[in-house]
Structures are given as structure tokens and as C-alpha cells.
Amino acid sequence: MSSFETVFGGMPKVTAQAPGRVNLLGEHTDYNDGYVLPIAIEQKTSVSMGRNNRGEYALCSHELDRMVHFTLAEPPVEHFAAYVYGCLMEARASGIETGPLDIYVESDVPMGVGLSSSAALEVATLRALRALTGSSLDDLRIAQLAQHAEIEYAGVRCGIMDQMASSLAGTKSALFLDTRTLERRLVPLPPASAVLVLDSGVARTLAGSGYNQRRAECEEAALRLGVTSLRDVHDISKADTLPEPLRRRVRHVVSENVRVLRAASWASAKEFGALMNASHASLRDDYEVSIPELDRLVALLQAHPDVYGARLTGAGFGGACVALCKPDTLQPVARTVLRDYAGAGFNGRMLVPPSDGAWVG
């Protein structure tokens, strides 16, 4: 088993961690200045670092079993290293100079399933840089720098939900966030409910997917409607003046914002579940970011008597889905649904829920 000590021959100066997240509601709304409702997951990414005097950065990923060397003038070509490099560059632009570092990354956040492993890596890297330099960056600023790092250096024109969730959310309550004003509050899960996350077994990457294209479509729709962003469209019939697929994209964003606002205002488990079901239909039909495997898994969950509602979570195009279930039913629901999913020829898995009573309303 490798570790910072075995790879670099000494103890790290600092270690910092940050969690992944699962989004309960509010998909593809964040880059439209809208509302989101994520919750942190137990799984975390841990970044250890210490200064070296070899004139270059050394970055080792435990999970990928890869070592990468680079300087700030010569960015690394490996994709995972781009996130760390981006954070180093953003930190430097904010006045945090460290000189060459040895960096060791370990993570149990599942990758490529829509649970924000990249945001966890970015936020943990920036927290480690804060600890190393004694900088006064606050958690909000860390989320903003992390988002810039992803946009500028990893090529994904993401919104700020994932980085805000990783930097500011906990596992006990969901984080209701207005992505325009960054106003936020914690929202407890509905009474008598628990959250289940299942992986469809179909991996996806954001950079190569239709993510940036969806964002461009939203920008074009906002321009044609004469608004700063789709957050400012309240009357869904305004979308009828637009050509397809812009009309459908707007319909999703506008209706999804309404769903988040409803869910965050003390919805019962049943109401919350119905909003999740409607969200999935909208993501499938209007936003067109689902795939047959996710539709099948979500349909199996929705048909289960102990499930209030289910939807794909994250950007879509593969990855995980999230369900709101009756408490104490997560294991049996997962078993039945994954068995039927396997019967349809697919290979899913349960992404372990927190053990200490978190994620339970």
C-alpha cells in the first residue's frame, strides 16, 4: 500500500479533506443562476502536501496509481492532474505562493458517476493549500476558486453547485442554494425518509459529453428571450416562441427551479418524491440528458412500494440515480431493484449510504 510517506520519504506538512455530494433536486439549474439542493456524502478525497526543493511539483494519485511531475509553467497533460494544477494556478492568482510541492491524493468518492469526485479533489486541494500557507481564504472563496479551476483548466463550463456542496454542505441536511446570490440555508430531509444512491454502471465524463452544449443552448435561449439568464424566466409559455430544442431546454430549467423551491419549503416525503419523479421526466424528455440504463433503473425504483421518488442525479449521460425511500428500507430496496436491473442485462451497484444516521429525515 503506498502512502505519502512511502512515495516521498517523509511526512506531509498538511492533510485536508473534502466530500463528494449527491444532488437531491435542481439539475442543470446552477449555470442558469437557479436553485439547487445537494447534500454531502460520507465519501471524501484527502490531499496531503509538503514543500520540496526539487524545482518541480510531484503529484501522486493513490487510486489511479499514477505519479505526475510538472511545473506551473508547463501544465500536466493527465486529466486528473489538471484539477490540482488548476487549483494551484487559481490559488496563486489569489496571492498564495508555495513553490514546488509533493502532493498525494487518496479518495473513496466514486469517480465518473455524478457524485462530484472532481469538486472533492479541488476543494481538498485548496483546503490543503490554505492550511499550508495559513491563508485566510474562506469556504465560499474556496468554492469559487475551485469552480474557476474546473472551468479554466479541466474544460468543463460547470456551475457552482458541486464546489459549494463540497465546501459548505454536511451529511445531515441538504444545502438549499440560490446560485445567483449564493444565499443558502440548510434544509432537513423530509420526516420518515432516507436517501439511496445507486450507480447505473455506465460511466460518463463531463468534458466529452453534451454538458457544454446544453449550457450553450441555455445561453442562446436566454439571449433570444432578452433575459440575463433562464432564472429570470417565470412564465413557462415564454418558451413557446423558441425553436426546438431550445423550447424544451427552457421548460426544464424553469420547471426545475419551481420544483426545488417547493421541495425546500418543508415538503413531505411524498411530495418530495413526486418532485423527484417529475424532475427525472423533465431531464429525460426536455433536457435529454438521460440514457436508457438510467431510465430503467429510475423506473424500477419508482415502482418500488418503499420508494417515494427517484431521478438521475448529477449531469446525466450515465452515472448514478438518487431515490427517497422509507427509512430502514435502503438495503432491501437496493437488493430488489438491482436484481431486476441485472435481469434486464445491466450491472448496477449500491453506493454505500452513510452509517451514522445521516441522510435520514
Q: Which helix (H) or strand (E) holds 274?
A: helix 269-285
Specify the residue for cell string 445537494. 38
Q: Rounded to whole angstroms, what are the CA distances from 124 to 88, 106, 188, 225? A: 12, 10, 25, 39
Indicate whether 317 belongs to the interface with ligand GLA (CB under 6 A).
no
Smallest separation (angstroms) from ligand GLA to the CB of 21: 9
| Cell (9 digits) for 162 | 458541486
Contacting residue, 20, 27, 120, 294, with ligand GLA by CB under 6 A:
27
Q: Which of residues 140-169 bind ligand GLA (CB under 6 A)?
A: 158-159, 161-162
Select the span of 23-31, 92-100, 227-235, 243-251 touching ligand GLA (CB under 6 A). Answer: 23-31
Contacting residue, 315, 325, 334, 338, with ligand GLA by CB under 6 A:
315
Contacting residue, 4, 8, 31, 83, with ligand GLA by CB under 6 A:
31
CB 350 within 8 A of CB 198: yes
Which CB atom, from 90 or from 162, has the smaller least distance to ligand GLA? 162
Smallest separation (angstroms) from ligand GLA to the CB of 119: 7
Q: Under rule CB under 6 A, how many of the chain's residues touch ligand GLA?
A: 10
Strands (E), 82-155: 101-107
Enumerate residues 6+ apart whose C-beta is below 8 A from 244: none
The catalytically annotated residue of 30, 33, 162, 199 is 162
Which CB atom, from 159 or from 190, has the smaller least distance to ligand GLA? 159
Q: What share of the chain is helix, strand, coil (3-state, %, to 5)?
A: 40, 20, 35
Which CB atom, from 102 or from 217, has the smaller least distance to ligand GLA? 217
Indicate whether 348 belongs to the interface with ligand GLA (CB under 6 A).
no
| Cell (9 digits) for 83 | 484539477
List the one residue out of 110, 15, 98, 107 whose CA is nearest residue 51: 98
Contacting residue, 273, 314, 319, 348, with ligand GLA by CB under 6 A:
314
Specify whether 138 is catalytic: no
Which CB atom, from 276 or from 338, has the smaller least distance to ligand GLA? 276
Indicate whether 122 belongs to the interface with ligand GLA (CB under 6 A).
no
Strands 101-107 and 57-61: parallel
Strands 57-61 and 320-325: unpaired
Smallest separation (angstroms) from ligand GLA to the CB of 315: 3
Strands 194-199 and 14-25: unpaired
Active site residues: 162
Residue numbers at the binding site for ligand GLA (CB under 6 A) = 27-28, 30-31, 158-159, 161-162, 314-315
